[in-house]
Amino acid sequence: MSTLKLENLGKRFGGVAALEPLSLEIGNGELVCLLGPSGSGKSTLLRIIGGFEAPTSGKVIIDGVDVARTPPEKRPTAMVFQSHALWNHMNVFENIAFGLKLRGTSKREVAKKVGDALALVGLGDYGARRPAQLSGGQRQRVAIARCLVLEPKILLMDEPFASLDQHLRDRLREEVRQIQKKLGITTVFVTHGQDEALSVADRIVVMSTGRIEQVGTPHDIYADPLTPFVAGFIGDMN
């Protein structure tokens, strides 16, 4: 179980502050949702944690080491994107095995680890399929397995199920929650869905316009929402 500590992390694009310098600590296998409306800085924050974007200021500390200048493939993080981003010319097994092969993992180990990862996401028999032969939900399961096989300390997910219908989205979210708990993997899950965050998170970080507005358990936030984005939603529910 790993700890992620953000210290005065800020990001500017030219004159625009996508993130005001912010600090946050998460860890011990918790699932934290970054929740906020479009443009609030959720993806920017996640991409900085994963190394796909460099911060303008501040630190990204994972288990005591600042990785803010470390390239993504050398960080103990793995990210699931909104679009599955699988390679269509490779089958499912090869897609998941790719990162392990880059690391020089032996063929036998690769076969075992990919098999385990596929079983974890309920796709044990799908190794030989091409991404094009899978449903949208199955493709996202493969994308998740491709991350998990690398045994990251921190799992990052950016609206991973946004393109799926509500029913499938609910189901996959619950499955991810089960897997995440089972593995005890610290997870940051970006969503603009208040229902999604309230149902799945250990803690919610509410963002707007590049700032953290509120941090708390779903219960805390439900009881005393400090932002119109969440308060309005809860008002509509009741």
Q: How far apart are CA 136 and CA 133, in angstroms?
A: 10
Q: How far is the CB of 185 from ligand ADP (least distance, A)?
A: 22
Query: What residue 127 binds from ligand ADP, Mg ion, none (CB within 5 to 8 A, per partner kind)?
Result: none
The entry of Mg ion, ligand ADP, none that residue 40 binds, CB within 5 to 8 Å by partner kind: ligand ADP
Minimum distance of Mg ion from residue 193's CB (angstroms): 12
Phi and psi, residue 54, nearest 5°: -90, 140
Instruction: Name the residue with the smallest CB distance to Mg ion.
Output: 43
Instruction: Give the Cβ contact number of residue 235 at 10 Å.
Output: 10
Closer Cβ to Mg ion, 18 or 100, answer by number: 18
| CB of 144 vs ligand ADP, minimal distance in Å | 20
Residue 158 Cβ vs ligand ADP, minimum distance, rounded to whole Å: 7
Counting residues that bind Mg ion (by CB under 5 A) gives 1
206: helix, coil or strand?
Answer: strand
Q: Which does 123 bind (CB under 5 to 8 A by kind): Mg ion, ligand ADP, none?
A: none
Closest C-alpha to 99, from 144, 60, 147, 36: 147
Which positions touch ligand ADP (CB under 6 A)? 13, 16, 18, 36, 38-44
Question: What is the closest distance, in whole angstroms, from the C-beta atom of residue 42 to ligand ADP in the complex?
Answer: 4
User: What residues numbered 37-76 form the site for Mg ion, per CB under 5 A?
Assistant: 43
Which residues contact residue 130 at a Cβ distance below 8 angstroms, ignoring those fewer than 6 apart? 88, 90, 91, 92
Tokens encoding 229: 């984005």
> Between the CA of residue 106 and those of 12, 13, 100, 183, what are the distances in Å?
42, 42, 9, 23
Instruction: Output the 3-class SS for 27-94.
Output: ECCCEEEEECCCCCCHHHHHHHHHCCCCCCEEEEEECCEECCCCCHHHCCEEEECCCCCCCCCCCHHH
Name which of 43 and 91 has its Cβ closer to Mg ion. Answer: 43
What, of Mg ion, ligand ADP, none, does residue 13 touch, CB below 5 to 8 Å by kind?
ligand ADP
Kindly tell me which of 40 and 77 has the beta carbon lying closer to ligand ADP: 40
Residue among 43 and 214 whose Cβ is closer to ligand ADP: 43
Task: Report the run of H or E that residue 10 belongs to, with start and end.
Answer: strand 3-13
Question: Which residues here bind Mg ion, judged by CB under 5 A?
Answer: 43
